[in-house]
Amino acid sequence: MSIELNTNDGQVTITNDVISTIAGGAAVECYGIVGMASKSQIRDGIAEILRKENFSKGVIVRQVEDHLHIDMYIIVSYGTKISEVAHNVQSQVKYTLSKSLGLEIDSVNIYIQGVRVSKD
């Protein structure tokens, strides 16, 4: 699936992979998030932290008619305020996608797939 934008000079097609990579990249720069997790943990391993190449497993882009929705599966750091971290991810992903692709996202849904407790 891909998003098509019509411009004066022609058409721009953006695949979901691009969107999920950018969204994932924006998310991991957010404070309090230690990784992206896979949507299907059973199949891909329990709460395995995804590498950049596999962000698309943890970032699902859904297009419902003209509206874009993004589901993100993340792992947060223990001891942070999870609701706030999630909120930061939402606003940063939304902002980054609008800045780099000109896409307006209707919703960014965050699924906390795990909490990483640091060793000390």
Evaluate whether 74 touches 89 at the Cβ level (below 8 Å).
Answer: yes
Query: Which residue among 15, 46, 79, 107 contacts another protein (CB under 8 A)?
Result: 79
Query: Which residue among 2, 15, 51, 84 contacts another protein (CB under 8 A)?
Result: 84
Part of the chain binding another protein (CB under 8 A), chosen from 5-13, 14-22, 39-47, 58-66: 5-13
Query: Which residue among 19, 22, 23, 34 contacts another protein (CB under 8 A)?
Result: 34
How many chain residues touch another protein (CB under 8 A)?
23
Each as own residue / partner, the long-range contacts of residues 27-30 (CB below 8 Å, 24 or more positions apart, any chain) are: 27/59, 27/72, 27/74, 27/89, 27/92, 27/93, 29/92, 30/85, 30/88, 30/89, 30/92
β-strand partners of 73: 111
Q: Which residue has the tokens 């909490």?
A: 115
The three-state DSSP-derived secondary structure of 70-85 is: EEEEEEEECCCCHHHH
Query: Which residue among 23, 30, 70, 103 contacts another protein (CB under 8 A)?
Result: 30
**Contact flag: residue 86 with another protein (CB under 8 A):** no
**Contact flag: residue 65 with another protein (CB under 8 A):** no
Which residues of the shown chain bind another protein in the complex (CB under 8 A)?
Answer: 6, 10-11, 28-35, 77, 79-81, 84-85, 88, 91-92, 95, 118, 120
